[in-house]
Structure 1
Amino acid sequence: MVDHVLVPMDDSPLARQALDFALDVHPAADITVLHVVDYVEESYGAEMLVGPDELRERALDRADQLVDEARERAADHEGDLRTATEFGDPARKIVQYAADEAVDLVVMGGHGRPLVSRILLGDVAQRVVQRAECPVTVVR
């Protein structure tokens, strides 16, 4: 039985589809929406222009917007909806969160990052599938 589902959330259509899938397929499960702020995705030039504090504040504002959207999408969900924001490598943080919080299932979108980023850094979904201790469903 799936009691706790982790849905990593970025600003991609596939992440939204993954959340919708989790809500539809596991209507009574507790769902945690996790947004991982990846500073590698942020431009080093931007950090130099606005400073690390401003860059962090902007990232947190984006995270808040994603969380608000997730709450709206899950308004009629039977289970609890929790949210979390982490900083670091997305694949590592997702796998770590799933292990630390006794997640039964990870549901995530595939290919949320731009192609160039996936080639340079590896696909987050692929790394989560390989490393997670629990089952992972990838929505495409």
Structure 2
Amino acid sequence: MTEHILVPIDESDPSSDAMQFAIEHHPEATITAIHVVDPGEAFAGTSIEGAASRQDVLESQERHAEKLLEDVREKGESEGVTIETDTVVGNVSRSIIEYIEEHDIDHVVIGSHGRTGASRILLGSVAESVTRRSPVPVTVVR
């Protein structure tokens, strides 16, 4: 029986679908939603002149993550489910794997954009990387 499910969250429809799947299929499990703030992505638009504001950019991304996770908690409450939340800073795939290993997670439900071909190669796939490297079962929702 699944006891603790991790659902990585971003602003995409697939991540919302993954959360809905977790709520519907594992109502008795502890569900934790995490959002990973990737400094590489957060600073991608920051110029050298803006280097002094990098901390501001990161703090802004973390505030945005908290709002996103607050919405997830409210969604859970409306479904009668308590959802734990956390924000992690780091590489997205690597941070998800580390979180699994450090928090006694026994199942992951993750959304996928379903990209194929060149777009998958160029953009990569967090869901694919997590699925390959996860020490626990992973359900990919598309």
TM-score (normalizing by structure 2): 0.86
> For the Cα contact (< 8 Å) 1:28–1:77, is it kept in 2?
no
1:111 positional shift: 2.8
Q: Which runs of 5+ in 2 are unaligned?
A: none
State the percentage of identical aligned residues.
40
Alignment match, 2:102: 100
Q: Which runs of 5+ in 1 are unaligned?
A: none
1:42 positional shift: 2.5
Q: Which has the larger radius of gyration?
A: 2
> For the Cα contact (< 8 Å) 1:91–1:128, is it kept in 2?
yes
Alignment match, 2:42: 42
Out of 58, 74, 95, which is 1:56 matched to?
Answer: 58
Instruction: State which drifts further: 79-88 or 118-127.
Output: 118-127
**Matched pairs, number:** 139
TM-score (normalizing by structure 1): 0.87
1:40 positional shift: 2.2
Distance 1:67 1:47, change over 3 A: farther
Q: Report the residue type matching 1:103 in the other structure.
A: I
> For the Cα contact (< 8 Å) 1:14–1:112, is it kept in 2?
no
- The secondary structure found in structure 1 opposite 2:129 is helix
Alignment match, 1:88: 90
